[in-house]
Structure 1
């Protein structure tokens, strides 16, 4: 290969057409179907008799370590969100949904207990450290 050919040849990258941005195909009908399906599932979850317990467990997690004013707002929110007996509709038996509510409620209860334990341990450590520092300041 002569030097002129080597200097004028182009690499495959230089010959490639400019890149065009990738666009995912649009599926408007499928998106609406998924949204309706998701809304239906959310409705079933929220109207389930165990939903208030699941919601309460979630809010209990949010209360852990929260300032008193936030705890107060969360408590009033729980009261507002508690459905009346008129709001609860009789639903056909759905073992999967029952299991979902029970499992996630139990997970949230354990999580709340773990958070509480860790915050208590951290508070005890900080009180101990503060007492130790105070002993240096006095001594």
Structure 2
């Protein structure tokens, strides 16, 4: 079957074989891991989970990376939607609880990641306002002040 690793199969990368060995050592069947992934992807909250994860990845990323992340999220959501939800809320209360908790955790994480960027933006806007107020002041008042002070010290 496609879930059973063969010792010399070139189709499996080192990471896949290592992952399967860890699953087997932990008492988990790789097929059950694929089944869990399918259940998560078919869950009604999968799109919300995916969006929360991508929003975390976008924090502080350059615009071109953010655009790629949004494209990837859209295509993954479209692929999951084309499969249709394989489960419904209440069918697996444990999975429902996991999806809710993980979504909430990712939203809070994104908020915490965003705080320093928001604080920096507020600071830079404040500095920009100060520069604008300095540049809007009449140049004659500055030059007159400097000239009168210079004459005073002569």
| Per-residue deviation, 1:127 | 6.7
Q: Which residue of 2 aligns with 1:42?
A: 37
| Per-residue deviation, 1:108 | 0.5
**CA contact under 8 A between 2:39 and 2:86: conserved in structure 1?**
no
Q: Which residue of 2 aligns with 1:88?
A: 85
Higher RCO structure, 1 or 2 (CA under 8 Å, sep 6+) = 1
Structure 1 length normalisation: TM-score?
A: 0.62
Q: Which residue of 2 aligns with 1:19?
A: none
| Per-residue deviation, 1:47 | 1.2
In terms of mean alpha carbon deviation, does 31-40 or 48-57 score higher? 31-40
Structure 2 length normalisation: TM-score?
A: 0.57
Quote the Cα distance in structure 2 between the aligned partners of 1:48 and 1:38. Answer: 15
1:79 aligns with 2:77: no
SS in 2 for 1:84: helix
SS in 2 for 1:89: coil
Runs of 4+ in 1 over 3 A off after TM superposition: 30-33, 122-132
Aligned length: 110
Q: Which has the larger radius of gyration?
A: 1
2:105 pairs with 107, 118, 121, which one? 107
Unaligned runs of 5+ in 1: 1-26
Unaligned runs of 5+ in 2: 1-20, 135-154
